[in-house]
A and B are shown apart, each in its own frame.
Chain A
Amino acid sequence: MAWRVAWVALCAALWAGLLITGCGGRPPADEKPRIALIMKSLANEFFLTMEQGARQHQAEHADRYALIAEGIKDELDVNRQVQLVEQMIARKVDAIVIAPADSKALAPVCGRAIAAGVIVVNIDNKFDDAVLADRGLRIPFVGPDNRKGARMVGEYLAKHLQPGDAVAIVEGVPGAFNAIQRRLGFEDAMKAAGMNIVAAQSGDWEMAKANRVVSAMITERPDLKAILCANDSMALGAVAALRAAGKLGEIKVVGFDNISAIQELLKKGEVLATADQHADRLAVFGIEYALQMLERRTDPEDRETPVDLITAEQAG
């Protein structure tokens, strides 16, 4: 309750601030385009970083647009996200920048938003092409190529292995677009370098689950040389499993996302490499694209954003 009061007070203060700055000759607050940012779970560090990046960008460009940022409770709460989009249509926002919790289920409601004259930009998790085509929708995807990023990490790992080495993949939640893309990227790199993928299991993006899965994997395949994890949380779990089994250093681990908790491990060499898709900029790229579309009414085209390889040298 106290939090809610504090929150309301904070919002009121921010609005007051906006109105006051809005009086200084600049156009009033309500004439600026309003952009809604709809994300997945704000409990997830990745989306939190995304949101903070967006808020900072808005603060620096307060004269260009107003931001409404919303998230859902957990990443599978599709229903709630549909409701959020509907609310945003009702509030007559100018653009919606969305990281869909489900690449298929969110397409119809975004179609309704477009029909209502709202510009929709897709970030993070790409809408399913077949569903978009089926509904005759064109929603631009602004984001990194996860497959390319994973391939980059895999290629760097391959330089530290011998052709024919046994490797294993720890995937994200089965069926999630990013999980599939990253697995494909890992597979591309491993096959190209002649490695032998002997196991692939889901770690549900989660540390403890990956820890259990990896513990069992290394028992069954003592010849394993490397484990490719589709995110850093799972890489942390994998490293803990190797430490418990006394195989740290023997088996190489790579991750994806470059979260803060992985930095220490990168420096120590316990994690060989990860990929940074610039979480703090992801929402901003989407917002800037939406602004561009609002200003110039350009045609929706996909736009690729950078993914960088992070190794011990770049670790912060």
Chain B
Amino acid sequence: MRGAWRRYMSVADYLGLGLVLAGLIAFFGMTTDHFFTVTTLRTIANQIPDAIIIAVGMTFVLIIAGIDLSVGSVLAFSGAVLGVALVRWGWPLGAAAALCVGAGSVCGAMNGLFVIRWRLPAFIVTLGMLEAARGGAYLVTGSQTQYLGGSIERVTNWGVGGLSLPFMTAIAVVIAGQVLLSGTAFGRHMFAIGANEETARLSGINITRIKLSVFVLSGALAALAAIIHCARLTAADPNAGIGYELQAIAAVVIGGTSLMGGRGSVINTFFGVVIIAVLENGLVQVGAQEPIKRLVTGAVIVAAVIADYYRRRLEARSA
């Protein structure tokens, strides 16, 4: 019985966002010459892996009622570490990538440590990390964009059936994330902490371990996104990822994850990212100028969240 209800609920979940997405695709398909093509699909699939991976980490953080404003800067910092390891030190790609993920994890661990040890609001701690990691990125690169070339291009060249390695990685992260969330004790504990931390503590959940893991995961995923980001651009840019935190939060919230914690889904986050990407691509193809693009993007973000509100009310009534 419970299984069937859950299945119904998730189908309805995806339906709402799927409709928004279908609407956007239909609109751009009609107003442009080349939106409704495989090329557009491939372009978007090539553009979004880093955004997806960051948004998965953000989903976890929001579910435990936290927030991680540092992801864009952590992406730049770990990307800078990757670039310097590859270019200046001549490390092989595997070792440099491991160092990159290590750097991101350390940033995440520091976020988690400060939040837990001194009971500080995640907003402030990660805002501090947003500044500090950006500074780190400038220091590591000497404020210069590092051209990578060579070995890192392989990352984007690999692929099966027209889908690139970064895209498949992102899909794997989404699936693993959803399984972690809805299929493990760890996931249930995340929801419990987000719903009510004190109750969760009293029921014997190890809050420290779970919170720390979530922040480390967010940092590590930002670093994984950095590898993909650098591979796509074949360059490590210390100014990379500015504003990514807000874009990730927007995608996660469009996907119906609560900013107050305790509720969320990784697959819906994926749809949130796709909606934003379709919107951005479509608006360029229509030829819309910057002011219009921003107006429309803002309106769609709010509209998607309103649509989600009505969907949930409908669900509550039928349940």
Contact = CB atoms under 8 A, between A and B. Distances in A.
Contacts of A199: 287
Given A201-B284, A240-B232, A264-B147, A207 B43 contact: no
A207 B149 contact: no
Given A207-B240, A216-B280, A260-B145, 17 more contacts: A43-B138, A43-B143, A45-B145, A199-B287, A202-B290, A208-B240, A208-B241, A211-B47, A216-B40, A216-B281, A216-B285, A219-B37, A220-B33, A220-B285, A221-B34, A240-B232, A243-B153
A217 interface: yes
B301 to A, nearest CB: 17
A265 B235 CA distance: 12
Given A206-B239, A207-B237, A245-B39, A215 B47 contact: yes
Interface of B: 32-35, 37, 39-40, 43, 46-47, 134, 138, 143-147, 149, 153, 156, 229, 232-235, 237-242, 280-282, 284-285, 287, 289-291
A221 B229 CA distance: 25
A99 B239 CA distance: 20
8 contacts: A208-B233, A216-B40, A216-B282, A233-B237, A236-B147, A260-B147, A261-B235, A262-B147
A213 B287 CA distance: 10
Nearest to B281: A216
Contacts of B146: 261
A161 interface: no
Contacts of A237: 233
A174 interface: yes
Contacts of B34: 219-222
Contacts of A236: 145, 147, 233-235
A72 to B, nearest CB: 14
A240 B234 contact: yes
A174 B288 CA distance: 13
Contacts of B238: 43
Contact of B46 (A215, A220, A221): A215
Interface in A265-313: 265
Nearest 10 pairs of A and B residues by beta carbon: A216-B284, A220-B285, A261-B147, A261-B145, A216-B281, A215-B43, A202-B290, A240-B233, A219-B39, A48-B143
Contacts of B144: 45, 48, 259-261
A244 interface: yes
Contacts of B147: 236, 260-265
A134 B45 CA distance: 51
Given A44-B143, A236-B235, A261-B235, A208 B229 contact: yes
